[in-house]
Amino acid sequence: MHAGIPLLLKDGTEVSWEQVIAAFNAGTAVVAHQRAENHTASGLMLDGVLLDTRGQCHSMWEEVWTAKAKSLQQCFLVLTGKY
């Protein structure tokens, strides 16, 4: 469907679009966010782990939070860096 575009999870693992669809349908696709200079960096994970360390770290730069992916389009945008 999106040939030529490498799909990399936040941890650098390469995945297929079929794996992303399966994880989304299973409810385990999550968007992970962390603060970066002048913006928030986001990545996709397929493990379903929800966490929120905002307000619990010594520095806001160490904060990470996740949320369930809202759509397959959101998953694709995050994976391609256009989110």
Per-residue pLDDT of 5-47, as tens digits, reads 668 888 888 999 999 999 999 999 999 998 767 778 899 999 9
Does the pLDDT value for residue 1 go beyond 50? no
Q: How far apart are CA 71 and CA 77, in angstroms?
A: 10
Does the pLDDT value for residue 4 go beyond 70? no
Could you tell me where the DSSP H helices lie in the chain? Answer: 17-26, 72-79
Tell me the average pLDDT across 49-75: 89
pLDDT for residue 45: 93
Q: How far apart are CA 38 and CA 75, in angstroms?
A: 22
Residues in the chain: 83
CB atoms within 10 A of CB 31: 20
Tell me the average pLDDT across 36-62: 84
Q: What is the pTM of this model?
A: 0.80
> Which two three-digit tokens encode residue 20?
């992303």
